[in-house]
Amino acid sequence: PFEALIVGAGHAGAHTAIFLRQHGHVGSIAIIGDEPELPYERPPLSKDYLGGTKSFDRLLLRPAEFWTDNAIAMLPGRRVETIDPRSQTVTCADGSCYSYVNLIWAAGGRPRSLPCPGGDLAGVHQIRSRADVDAIATELAQARDICVIGGGYIGLEAAAVLTKLGKRVTLLEAMDRVLARVAGDELSRFYEREHRAHGVDLRLNARVRELIGKSGRVAGVLLDEGEVLPAEMVIVGIGILPNLEPLAAAGARCRDGVEVDEFCRTSLPNIYAVGDCARHTNTFAQEGTRIRLESVQNASDQANCVAKAIVGRPERYSATPWFWSDQYDLRLQTAGLSAGYDEVVIRGDQAARKFSVIYLRGGRFQAIDCVNNAKDFVAGKRLVATRATVSADRLADTETPLKALIP
Ligand code: FAD
């Protein structure tokens, strides 16, 4: 058996292997992944890779030699379908079978599909994998009007890139503001203004009734009120569903994610779960809230947590959440989780496109969103970690560096 058998060759899976070796694990390690590629970074898929300014080889998490040099066996192009916790084996769709001492489930998530007719027409895309973006690239020259459905990070990033490529982009968001799930009102409004200023036709409260096809290809988007928007391509970015079915079938506790404890252990013996699919208690979320975090930070830090547990030096997962997003010439960096805040402080000048939004709860520093403001991000991340009590007036005063407020 493999001492560490990892399912999923994404950020969390690859980093589990990397951290295991870093922490001195000498036993065998294998990574089973259903994509054909070696592990690569997903964030550029909706940024430089979609824009054509970064080639795929620059997305690889490590060069090919790294995996062989570190005796990490790569088993690409295989999809795990069943897990038998009693015999400690997994079986793939191609019939291959592997046994494990420790199993690490790092299967990420798959894009939610559009719950309306026409979602399966040619020309309707999602952005999760290299294959998705390569498929978009082959059709891009033929598309002039593109509809992006979903005003989350991926939809907004795609809209920014496609606008820059000269496409006529309509962005449809079902809620009354973009980024509603992850940011406060001020940041949403800022990004809405930016996208409109760059020529995106941004529609809020927009409900899609149907994608209209012509000879099997998407040609337009029918909204609830009856309007039809022309679209030779549609990109759907409405969130993901965690990949957990084989684990759930094996009896692991699951609920919108694989339930894990503070060491990323699932309810089944010797099986861990990490990354986008792992539902955990996050000490930075509102008290008692169990969440999944979809970020490189969480994938990497949970991988580290599991590696430490496997080498016998367990440490509770308590990493500070952080994230970034690139749109146009705006770099957003966030730290902490803003949900549940009761006070907002704007620091800096939104018109100058360099500012931060700080979220407080009970007077404590809870989260920060920084636009083109790396200094605030670095200090803000530490303020989030210490949960410092800081007055709103001092936070708003740009003459005082945030660093000076770290206790
Ligand atoms: P993934 O990276 O999705 O890896 C899971 C892997 O497991 C996949 O290869 C999947 O195909 C495979 N798999 C699934 N089921 C099976 C099975 N049964 N058998 C074998 N293999 C299987 N995060 C940020 O922090 N900043 C960003 O700017 C950012 N931008 C993003 C942009 C895009 C377009 C996307 C898609 C994500 C972005 N993210 C960003 C999120 C970040 O990429 C994810 O949080 C991260 O990839 C999660 O890692 P993971 O290993 O849990 O899942």
According to DSSP, residue 183 is labeled S
Q: Copy the structure tokens of residue 330.
A: 């705006």
Position 391 confidence tier, pLDDT thresholds 50, 70, 90: very high
The residue count of the chain comes to 407
pLDDT higher than 90, residue 378: yes
383: nearest Cα among 396, 363, 367, 362:
367
Q: Are strands 258-259 and 228-230 parallel, antiparallel or unpaired?
A: unpaired
pLDDT higher than 80, residue 336: yes
CA 75 – CA 62 distance, rounded (Å): 16
For 320-347, b/e burial (b = at least 16 CB within 10 A) is bbbbbbbbbeeebbbbbbbbebeeebbb
As a whole-number percent, the residues of the chain with pLDDT over 70 amount to 100
Task: Please name the residues in contact with 352: beta carbons below 8 A apart, sequence gap of 6 or more.
Answer: none
- Ranges of H-type helices in 262-372: 296-310
pLDDT for the residue 289: 87
How far is the centre of ligand 1, averaged over its atoms, from the C-alpha of 75 (Å)?
Answer: 17
3-state secondary structure of 131: helix
How far is the centre of ligand 1, averaged over its atoms, from the C-alpha of 106 (Å)?
Answer: 9
Q: Say if residues 4 and 49 touch (Cβ distance below 8 Å).
A: no
CA 251 – CA 264 distance, rounded (Å): 16
Q: Say if residues 229 and 223 touch (Cβ distance below 8 Å).
A: yes
pLDDT higher than 70, residue 288: no
**Amino acid at residue number 58:** R
Position 286 confidence tier, pLDDT thresholds 50, 70, 90: confident
Position 349 confidence tier, pLDDT thresholds 50, 70, 90: very high
pLDDT higher than 70, residue 380: yes
Closest C-alpha to ligand 1, atom 23:
295
According to DSSP, residue 61 is labeled S
The three-point CA angle 240-241-244 to 5° equals: 140
β-bridge mates for residue 360, sequence order: 343, 365
Closest C-alpha to ligand 1, atom 33:
43
Q: Copy the structure tokens of residue 365.
A: 């520093």
H-run or E-run covering 376: helix 374-386
Which ligand 1 atom is nearest residue 276's CA? 52
173-213: pLDDT as tens digits:
999 999 999 999 999 999 999 999 999 999 999 999 999 99
CA 212 – CA 226 distance, rounded (Å): 12
Q: Say if residues 275 and 299 touch (Cβ distance below 8 Å).
A: yes
Closest C-alpha to ligand 1, atom 24:
295
Position 330 confidence tier, pLDDT thresholds 50, 70, 90: very high
290-309: pLDDT as tens digits:
999 999 999 999 999 999 99
Q: Copy the structure tokens of residue 193.
A: 């203004």
Position 287 confidence tier, pLDDT thresholds 50, 70, 90: confident
For a ligand 1 pocket test, name from 272, 294, 369 the mutation site with the most ligand atoms within 8 angstroms of its C-beta.
Answer: 294
CA 98 – CA 74 distance, rounded (Å): 13
43: nearest Cα among 322, 382, 278, 367:
322
As a whole-number percent, the residues of the chain with pLDDT over 90 amount to 99
Q: Copy the structure tokens of residue 243.
A: 């990949």
Model confidence, pTM:
0.97
Q: Copy the structure tokens of residue 111.
A: 């894009």
pLDDT for the residue 375: 97
pLDDT higher than 90, residue 250: yes
Ligand 1 first shell, C-beta below 6 A = 7-13, 32-35, 42-43, 45-46, 79-80, 106-108, 127-128, 154, 243, 246, 275-276, 294-297, 299, 323-325
Q: Say if residues 30 and 75 touch (Cβ distance below 8 Å).
A: yes
Q: Copy the structure tokens of residue 270.
A: 């010797």
